[in-house]
Amino acid sequence: MSTAIRTKIIKIGNSQGIRIPKPLLEQSGIDSEVEIEVQNDYLIVRAVKRSRIGWDEAFAKMAQRGDDALLDEVSTTTWDHREWEW
């Protein structure tokens, strides 16, 4: 469903902006950050995709399954044993 609401451009310091009504923000999923681009004669405003949403839950599930072990083996050399002081 598309909702169109007419609004005016307002002055904000040396810039200009628009007020976005709450119902449109709720429908779009926009909360704090947006991406803005121009396509032909349209101004596209969309919510910024959060790249790590759900990672906490996914890692917790991996730990429960025991699926969070390192994939690469840790190998040491004689240099590691001789040269490092702890």
| CATH number of 12's domain | 2.10.260.10
DSSP state of 6: -
φ, ψ of residue 43 in degrees (nearest 5): -100, 115
Tell me the C-alpha distance between 75 and 12, whole Å: 59
Q: Does 32 have pLDDT greater than 90? A: no
| pLDDT score recorded for residue 50 | 75
Please state, as a whole number, how many other Cβ atoms lie within 10 Å of the Cβ of residue 24: 14
Within a domain: residue 44?
yes
Within a domain: residue 15?
yes
Q: Does 83 have pLDDT greater than 90? A: no
Domains contained in the chain, number: 1
| pLDDT score recorded for residue 86 | 65
- Helix (H) / strand (E) element for 28: namely helix 22-28
- Reported as a pLDDT band with limits 50, 70 and 90, residue 4 is confident
Q: 43 lies in which domain range? A: 1-68
